Copies of this chain bind each other. A is one copy, B any other.
């Protein structure tokens, strides 16, 4: 993007604003469903493991559901005999016509078979796109439900009018819930892609050299402030998927949220950049709301 080399630097992408716009669209769709007597309902299922970060995410998700008119509920199963309890809960929710979306907290505790648990989840209620059927439909170019974080990255690029066509996109991270499905979407013209995509990960040699090629950089490595500003190509678009709590007793809250990218140095080089918090996170929640409403609309058709 040579045209960007002398352009503005560090313009923040307003994830909260994008999420608000999406929530308005979702709320309108909820209104249309209400006229047909349908209230979308999302239920989360988790193994009870005292994960406080999940609790906090759950609360913000529940508040977002409330804002747009989606009903929510949450189910916790004990760690003991979790596989059977999860299977039973998923089977029950899959069969319940009043439930439209089911969200399963991942990763499952060690020893619990994902394949065994997923076999009880109805693919039409799998709003987070983790069921093999939905992963397969994405891989075959006919996406239905896709992982929400990956979809959020695509939504940001589209809504901010940042085209990928022919651009070199570098994805850091190859996880099944972010990096891998995102790569599929970035490449496929039907999902808004058409980019040239390089996927890097922990075994990549010369990572800074790879990052330096990115016209669009997507960081999903899961390491706080790992990507440095000096690695980034001047004028690149930077999308930061990471969320980490960095403890710092000198701060009023005892710490701060940071992403996978060192924001301060990166924002001096990037043309556009998502902040943490307020970047990919709120858009991911909005994508989940949209998926739930679509699941409800589809179930009632």
**A interface, CB within 8 angstroms of B:** 114-115, 130-142, 165-166, 168, 174, 176, 180-181, 183-184, 187-188, 194, 196-201, 203-205, 210
Contacts and interface: CB of A to CB of B under 8 A. Distances in A.
A138 B138 CA distance: 12
B133 A204 contact: no
A212 B171 CA distance: 20
Please give the count of copies of this chain that the complex contains.
2
Given A132-B142, A165-B203, 15 more contacts: A132-B133, A133-B133, A135-B135, A135-B140, A136-B137, A136-B139, A139-B184, A141-B176, A174-B187, A174-B188, A183-B183, A183-B199, A187-B201, A197-B198, A197-B199
State the majority secondary structure of interface residues on A: mixed
A205 B194 CA distance: 11
Contacts of A183: 183, 199
Contacts of A134: 136
Contact of A204 (B166, B184, B204): B166
A235 B198 CA distance: 21
B194 A203 contact: yes
A64 B188 CA distance: 35
A2 B131 CA distance: 43
A139 B142 contact: no
Contact of A203 (B135, B136, B139, B196): B196
Given A180-B184, A196-B198, A196-B205, A131 B136 contact: yes
A124 to B, nearest CB: 13
Contacts of A201: 187, 196
A187 B166 contact: no
Contact of A181 (B137, B139, B187): B139
B180 A196 contact: no
Contacts of A187: 174, 180, 199, 201
A109 to B, nearest CB: 18
Nearest to A181: B139
Contacts of A142: 115, 132
A180 B210 contact: no
A136 B180 CA distance: 12
Contacts of A210: 196
A187 B142 CA distance: 22
A262 to B, nearest CB: 22
Given A135-B135, A140-B176, A174-B187, A199 B196 contact: yes
A183 B186 CA distance: 13
